[in-house]
């Protein structure tokens, strides 16, 4: 799965940087319609040239279909920027996935607790579970994962 995460980040950052280069060179106007058209053509070229890892081929085909079906409403630029922003937080300077440690998980738990979430770790989650919190944001973590792997404090 790490390879996919790295590849999706590489694809969207490459696409966005080539879009910006094209705009800076004056080849592509800076408006949503032109940007979507550019990225649609860019995705098609990437597929034809087999530019990226095969683990990502279905996503590229999906984007191509979306852009052909929806046209300017496909909003590929927005999607690329959102993905780059999200995955950028999970990668190091070279674009590789960062390791998630027990301390990282504990920091997540603390962040959601500080934000007023309800964190439940005392049950084994081995089936579909209904968790009633009266509208309060919540996070449910399987007891066996939280105590043996993560070591909830």
User: Do the Cβ atoms of 102 and 150 come closer than 8 Å?
Assistant: yes
- CA 33 vs CA 29, 51, 72, 74, 114: distances in Å: 9, 24, 5, 9, 41
Give which of 1, 10, 139 is closest to 87, Cα–Cα. Answer: 10
Cα 126 from Cα 15, distance rounded (Å): 41
* Three-class SS state of 97: strand
Q: What is the pLDDT along the chain (153 residues), one digit of tens a residue?
A: 567 778 888 899 999 999 999 999 999 999 999 999 999 999 999 999 999 888 888 999 999 999 999 988 898 999 999 999 888 877 776 766 677 778 887 888 888 888 888 877 777 777 776 777 777 787 777 765 554 444 443
Domain residue ranges of the chain, discontinuous segments joined by + = 2-88, 102-150
């Amino acid at each position: 799965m790490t390879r996919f995460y790295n590849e999706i980040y590489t694809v969207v950052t490459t696409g966005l940087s080539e879009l910006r280069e094209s705009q800076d060179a004056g080849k592509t106007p800076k408006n949503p319609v032109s940007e979507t058209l550019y990225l649609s053509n860019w995705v098609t070229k990437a597929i034809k040239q087999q530019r990226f890892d095969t683990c990502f081929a279905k996503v590229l085909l999906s984007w191509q279909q979306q852009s052909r079906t929806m046209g300017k409403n496909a909003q590929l630029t927005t999607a690329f920027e959102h993905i780059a922003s999200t995955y950028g937080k999970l990668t190091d300077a070279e674009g590789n996935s960062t390791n998630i440690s027990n301390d990282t998980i504990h920091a997540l738990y603390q962040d959601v607790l500080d934000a007023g979430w309800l964190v439940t770790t005392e049950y084994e989650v081995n089936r579909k579970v209904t968790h009633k919190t009266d509208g309060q944001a919540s996070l449910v973590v399987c007891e066996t994962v939280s105590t043996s792997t993560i070591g909830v404090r």
